[in-house]
Amino acid sequence: MRPPLTLDAGRLLTRTASGDASALEELVDRFGGLVFACIGTVQADPAGRDRLCSDVFTALWRRACEGAHSPEPVLWVLKVLCETLGSANELDRRPLSGGLLGLACPDRELLLLAAAGGFSQGEISALTGIDEFRLRAILRTALEALRGRRDDLLTA
């Protein structure tokens, strides 16, 4: 059985795509904390974080039809988040944000679930449908790519 967050994402994206305004409110309530935490890993300025959060949910609303048909709705929400962050011209980005956003999908989304969302590998696997063995390999490769890009900034 899929986790409630995954089921909620699919259900809310379907309702949003059908024009249900209350579904967008629920989507913000359900995913606002995760989206804001992910934005905080990239954007240092609080005002910039607020604006980006609005931009992300606007993009989710505009692209809800696409998300409603996604087999992995949580991963799709994070993909839209990363695309929105990558296209934003913010002045106060955190040092690793360029490297993180430069990673391919789903690497960057999976790292955000782990780092900003605080999800375990088992939880990420359940949320995204990615097998844990493959997930570990993806995360390891993504971290190695970040380390190669900004070796002087990583301390883990």
What is the domain range of residue 93? 4-149
pTM for the model:
0.84
Question: Of 102, 105, 123, which is closest to residue 114 (Cα–Cα)?
Answer: 123
Residue 154 belongs to a domain: no
Q: Residue 121 sits in a domain of what CATH number?
A: 1.20.140
96-114 mean pLDDT: 89
Residue 2, both tokens: 């899929």
Residue 110 belongs to a domain: yes
pLDDT of residue 102: 87
pLDDT of residue 57: 97
Give me the number of domains the chain comprises: 1
Residue 36, classed as helix, strand or coil, is helix
